[in-house]
Amino acid sequence: MFDFSFGELVVLAVIALLVVGPDKMPEMARTAGRWYGVLRRTLTGVRAEVEQQLLLDDLRREADQLRNLANEDLLVPPSAPQPPGEIPPPPANSAVPAVENEAVAPPSLPTPPAEERLH
């Protein structure tokens, strides 16, 4: 954070010792240490919160992009309304082959053998 060399710290300590005096120097050092710790924790918390917010923004942006891609894939061009009972043709880009509208009979049940019918 701050770039102080050892020599600069020694000069600051000597000046503080001359200004404050040897009696109050330990108390002042403890107070400075506490404030430095509070400042450091605050800055670490702010940095973590900003990084988390940036990550959330990135995730939201990616989710929006995926949602837009999914919506584009699901969009079907508007077509004329189909009368009831008719099956609309599949989309042109579909891999499902088109089937003519035919009346399909329900599957027939197998008939039991003659011996079972007579009892």
- pLDDT tens digit sequence for 73-83: 666 555 556 56
- Per-residue model confidence (pLDDT) at position 67: 87
Summarize pLDDT for 78-107 with one digit per residue, the tens. 555 656 666 666 666 655 555 555 555 566
Question: pLDDT-based confidence at 29, cuts 50/70/90?
Answer: confident
In a domain, 27, yes or no: yes
In a domain, 101, yes or no: no
In a domain, 14, yes or no: no
**How many structural domains does the chain have?**
1
- Per-residue model confidence (pLDDT) at position 41: 96
In a domain, 59, yes or no: yes
Range of the domain at 44: 23-75
| C-alpha span between 12 and 25 (Å, rounded) | 12
Summarize pLDDT for 44-55 with one digit per residue, the tens. 999 999 999 999
In a domain, 66, yes or no: yes
In a domain, 82, yes or no: no
In a domain, 69, yes or no: yes
| C-alpha span between 88 and 98 (Å, rounded) | 10
The Cα angle at residue 94 between residues 67 and 83, in degrees rounded to 5: 95
